[in-house]
Structure 1
Amino acid sequence: MSAPLWTSAEIEAATGGTATAPFEVTGITFDSREVEPGWLFVAMPGTVADGHDFIARAQERGAAASLVSRPVDGPHLLVADVPAALEALARASRARMQGKVLGVTGSVGKTSTKEALAAALARRYPGRVHRSLKSYNNHTGVPLSLARMPRDSIYGVFEMGMNNEGEIRALTALVRPHIALITAIAPAHIENLGSMEAIADAKSEIFESLEPGGTAIIPNDTPYRDRILRAARRHAETILTFGSGDADITALHAVRSDAGGSLVTARLASADLTYNIAQPGDHWVSNSLAVLAAVEAAGADLAAAGLALGDMGGLKGRGERHRIAVAGGTALLIDESYNANPASMAATLRSLADEKIEGRRLAVLGTMLELGEHSDDAHAGLAPAVIAAGVAELILVGEATRPLADAIGDGLPVTMVANAAEATDALLARLGPGDAVLVKASNGIGLASLVERVAGGAATCST
């Protein structure tokens, strides 16, 4: 029988709280809908709802106990402050971790890279690699992800995000990575941070709590490389760059494979490696180089990592592909609905251009949020990428996308809609056999509902 994730005595020692009775838990969540039998439910306070109001639901789903700040019915552990107690449990989890911890951040690609990195490590050590689930990368998600880490994990892979300066500093102080990776620098959250230099500085905070002897992995293909290098040198013993040109880890050869992804030969520190990537696009070549740099820095199995990259399917909202039944045949829907900024929009449009299809290329593009005063220029600046992708018809969602429509002019048919529901209707009226459609926007635009309605029970596919 495997050891529990936590015992009540361990939680008491970590948090200073008091349990009503001894218990053991096999998992942790602060979402009552996720509770499984034997889990600890963390009753987080909130501005809209208080987790204490959902304890009965958690108990109905089999929660072993709840972490609370006021007495409740049923088994519980009482603390003065629930968020502080969750952070304390996260620190205790990190302290007992005897393996290697890897931290990932970046303006684009951090969730995909985190998932690929975890899969690459798990190929050699199945069941012994822990990772952040979903995009649990903020001030509550990172502590939860740490607290969930099994005590016998060999590797832990954690994603860290931010909206403002100082947020990654706080998160990396909890994670204390041995290896810290920045995927890319792009104008995400520029509304809050004000400049690209400030974004690069905020992402570079990930190096500040590197463990002694730690490794920093940074993108070579950014104008801010030297700025990031200077930040990394203050904290890292080893620095590796990935990308093109004089990067330490680079693709010597990369071509589109028959399966739709890429066949890559990469130069690493110890050897050259040839491998397939299941996901299409040059951005996935870059992601793969970052993954292999981290795998090599961790002393893990590079050959196994290469196999994992070839097997990895698309992630929901981040490249998952659906084969849709339409009158007269099928169409391909590429789900990039979770997030968007100018760099990721351009990258996925390039991938759309590479699709081998019999029909047309369509795109449903929604507003890119958190761009502030840069919003009009950023949206208009996508016009060359849309045209170069060979898009036959474009559906734009939200008034903030109008500068893109204006920039395209009469270059191709453009339909402006107000919301995801109207976008869905517009797409269904246009989608035909052999077509490929890219769906991409910031998560707040809600295009996941379009994917759900159009794809429904459609099968995902790798080509």
Structure 2
Amino acid sequence: MRPINVYEIAAIVNGRPFAILDSALASGFAFDHREVAPGDLFICIRGSRFDGHDFAAQAIARGAAACLASRPIPGPHILVNDVVRAISLLGTEYRKRVSGEVVGVTGSYGKTSVKEFLAAALRPLGAIAKTEGNRNTELTAPLLFAQLDGAEAAVVVEMAMRGKGQIGELCRIARPTAGVVTNVGHAHLEALGSRLEIAKAKRELLEAIPNYGHGAVWAEDEFRDVLAKHVGCHLGYFGFSDSADARVESCEIVGWERSVATIRVDGERVELEVPASGKHMALNAAAALLVASRLGAPLGEAAQSLASAQLPAMRMQVLQRQGVTIVLDAYNAAPGSVAASLETLAAVPCEGKRRMVLGDMLELGRAAAELHGLVGAQIAAAGVTSALFYGPNSIQHALPAYASACANCEARSASNIDEVAAFLHSASPGDVVLVKGSRGMALERALERRPQGALT
């Protein structure tokens, strides 16, 4: 990011600067005082558990140029009435300075993979910027625009939501010229009540795209017609069916870290290496190629560039531990993403046992019991012969369904993360262990711990 004078930021957010040097420059943004780098603007957010204002002194001590705050604090800071509103103002102002395409990506699952594939596929057009890490909320996504130099050919913005209207608010800041809705799943059922309402909330992205822009939707999505309603942009479809504009014609899983797919985009066929395993990853690649192609990237070059994409940690991340393959896919989980991961687990050759750790899938509301039960049966159908269940819904609903569907299989439960670590340690060379659960379960902790505790 180009350094920004802190007084420029204060003017944009209608804030009052206190104790700030005229020459002070912000070269980044931080929300966690422990992650502050010298020159960052530390943003004080009041959360349900912590108040960032209480850590402002530590942030300044770590080298923050100033803090953005909604109450007076010691040290250099910009005082505003509402920090969240200030973030929105920053994003809105700096978005005006972007002349390239802005592509939004949302969906119940697969957002990050599509974002990474799309950013790579667009590289033939020039410099590409993208959402980094998990900065995909109304608090963090707008700041992407303040970190650009304005010369980017395209910006890919991942858009997360927890409720109705949040995608629309992000779009008011980002003003997307293209967008992808990866799918409509069950995540956020607790907040929105039904998949129909989830589809309407995701559709806010497509509704925000101007008539000359491009949108992309999964051809086989149960809610594709809902997503297309009231949408004025040029809408294309990716999928496996003949009617898809970007159709996955074949997908060969080579191993845990790559697949080879043949994809036809608007009548042009290309074979490419997908830098991840599974048909669902080939589908994500089709979505990326459809949008990249319609934005002007030559298909062959886009496909070649996509092959170099790198997925962030905990998205089908392959780890080797003493001959055991651990597939850490625990950044998040919903029934659709679990099914896709299980399909891949069943398809990749395995010398030993197929094993799995399932942590609870959160935010499913009243459907949690039924959906965990369905997933339990799917685990058995995928050929998993040893499974560990962690979390109340996994233990109460997924475990019995798994045990019923696979009478000779090993079904265990864990009451703490140490017991999850013990299960991972019990695997033998040649085994493959899929680790899947929602972010709130933090299953990655099991890989960091020494195994201890008994399993039941």
- The TM-score, its normalising length taken from structure 1, stands at 0.90
Determine the C-alpha separation between the residues in 2 that align with 1:177 and 1:320.
Answer: 30
Determine the C-alpha separation between the residues in 1 that align with 2:295 and 2:92.
Answer: 22
Q: SS at the partner of 2:122?
A: helix
User: After superposition, what is the alpha-carbon deviation per residue over 1:87-106, rounded to whole angstroms, capped at 9, x for unaligned?
Assistant: 11111111111111110000
The structure-2 alpha-carbon separation of the partners of 1:453 and 1:374, relative to structure 1 and needing over 3 Å to count, comes to same
Q: Is the 8 A contact 1:322 1:332 kept in 2?
A: yes
* Pair 1:403 & 2:404 matched: no
Structure 2 residue aligned with 1:145: 144
Counterpart pick for 1:296 among 270, 290, 293: 293
RMSD over aligned Cα atoms: 2.2
Q: SS at the partner of 1:12?
A: helix
Q: Is the 8 A contact 1:132 1:159 kept in 2?
A: yes
The structure-2 alpha-carbon separation of the partners of 1:13 and 1:153, relative to structure 1 and needing over 3 Å to count, comes to farther
Q: SS at the partner of 1:407?
A: helix
Determine the C-alpha separation between the residues in 2 that align with 1:195 and 1:71.
Answer: 43
Determine the C-alpha separation between the residues in 2 that align with 1:309 and 1:360.
Answer: 32
User: After superposition, what is the alpha-carbon deviation per residue over 1:319-341, rounded to whole angstroms, capped at 9, x for unaligned?
Assistant: 1110102xxxx110000111111
Structure 2 residue aligned with 1:352: 345
Q: Is the 8 A contact 2:163 2:201 kept in 1?
A: yes
Q: SS at the partner of 1:102?
A: strand
Determine the C-alpha separation between the residues in 2 that align with 1:34 and 1:150.
Answer: 23
Q: SS at the partner of 1:362?
A: strand
Counterpart pick for 2:16 among 15, 18, 34: 18
Task: Report the CA distance between 1:121 and its aligned residue.
Answer: 2.8
Structure 1 residue aligned with 2:133: 134
The structure-2 alpha-carbon separation of the partners of 1:151 and 1:55, relative to structure 1 and needing over 3 Å to count, comes to farther
Q: SS at the partner of 2:318?
A: strand
Determine the C-alpha separation between the residues in 2 that align with 1:223 and 1:439.
Answer: 27
Letter in 1 for 2:252: V
Determine the C-alpha separation between the residues in 1 that align with 2:73 and 2:164.
Answer: 38
The structure-2 alpha-carbon separation of the partners of 1:421 and 1:304, relative to structure 1 and needing over 3 Å to count, comes to farther
Determine the C-alpha separation between the residues in 2 that align with 1:68 and 1:9.
Answer: 14
After TM superposition, the structure 1 = structure 2 runs for residues 340-419 of structure 1, keeping only pairs within 5 Å, are 340-401=333-394, 402-408=396-402, 409=404, 410-419=407-416
* Pair 1:311 & 2:304 matched: no
Q: SS at the partner of 1:321?
A: strand
Counterpart pick for 1:248 among 237, 245, 248: 245
Q: SS at the partner of 1:253?
A: strand
Which sits farther off after the overlay, 251-260 or 376-385?
251-260
Task: Report the CA distance between 1:277 and its aligned residue.
Answer: 0.7
Determine the C-alpha separation between the residues in 2 that align with 1:55 and 1:183.
Answer: 38
User: After superposition, what is the alpha-carbon deviation per residue over 1:96-151, rounded to whole angstroms, capped at 9, x for unaligned?
Assistant: 111111100001101221122223334764xx322222222222122233333343
Structure 2 residue aligned with 1:458: none
Determine the C-alpha separation between the residues in 1 that align with 2:152 and 2:80.
Answer: 27
The structure-2 alpha-carbon separation of the partners of 1:413 and 1:118, relative to structure 1 and needing over 3 Å to count, comes to same
After TM superposition, the structure 1 = structure 2 runs for residues 142-221 of structure 1, keeping only pairs within 5 Å, are 142-221=141-220
Determine the C-alpha separation between the residues in 1 that align with 2:448 and 2:113.
Answer: 20
The structure-2 alpha-carbon separation of the partners of 1:153 and 1:289, relative to structure 1 and needing over 3 Å to count, comes to same
Determine the C-alpha separation between the residues in 2 that align with 1:34 and 1:211.
Answer: 38
Determine the C-alpha separation between the residues in 1 that align with 2:190 and 2:256.
Answer: 39
* Pair 1:323 & 2:320 matched: yes
* Pair 1:443 & 2:439 matched: yes
Letter in 1 for 2:447: V
Task: Report the CA distance between 1:411 and its aligned residue.
Answer: 4.4
Task: Report the CA distance between 1:313 and its aligned residue.
Answer: 3.9
* Pair 1:422 & 2:419 matched: yes
Q: Is the 8 A contact 2:2 2:147 kept in 1?
A: no
Structure 1 residue aligned with 2:224: 225
Which sits farther off after the overlay, 74-83 or 109-118?
74-83
Letter in 2 for 1:353: A
- The TM-score, its normalising length taken from structure 2, stands at 0.91
Which sits farther off after the overlay, 135-144 or 435-444?
135-144
Q: Is the 8 A contact 2:178 2:213 kept in 1?
A: yes
The structure-2 alpha-carbon separation of the partners of 1:348 and 1:403, relative to structure 1 and needing over 3 Å to count, comes to same
User: After superposition, what is the alpha-carbon deviation per residue over 1:56-79, rounded to whole angstroms, capped at 9, x for unaligned?
Assistant: 222222222222334444433332
The structure-2 alpha-carbon separation of the partners of 1:313 and 1:179, relative to structure 1 and needing over 3 Å to count, comes to same
User: After superposition, what is the alpha-carbon deviation per residue over 1:248-276, rounded to whole angstroms, capped at 9, x for unaligned?
Assistant: 11122322236752211211127322111
Structure 2 residue aligned with 1:115: 116
Determine the C-alpha separation between the residues in 1 that align with 2:59 and 2:168.
Answer: 33
Letter in 2 for 1:81: D
Q: Which runs of 5+ in 1 are unaligned?
A: 456-463
Task: Report the CA distance between 1:21 and its aligned residue.
Answer: 3.2
Q: Following TM superposition, where does structure 1 have runs of at least 4 consecutive aligned residues deviating by more than 4 angstroms?
A: none
Structure 1 residue aligned with 2:454: none
The structure-2 alpha-carbon separation of the partners of 1:378 and 1:323, relative to structure 1 and needing over 3 Å to count, comes to same
Structure 2 residue aligned with 1:452: 448
Task: Report the CA distance between 1:10 and its aligned residue.
Answer: 2.7
Identity %: 34
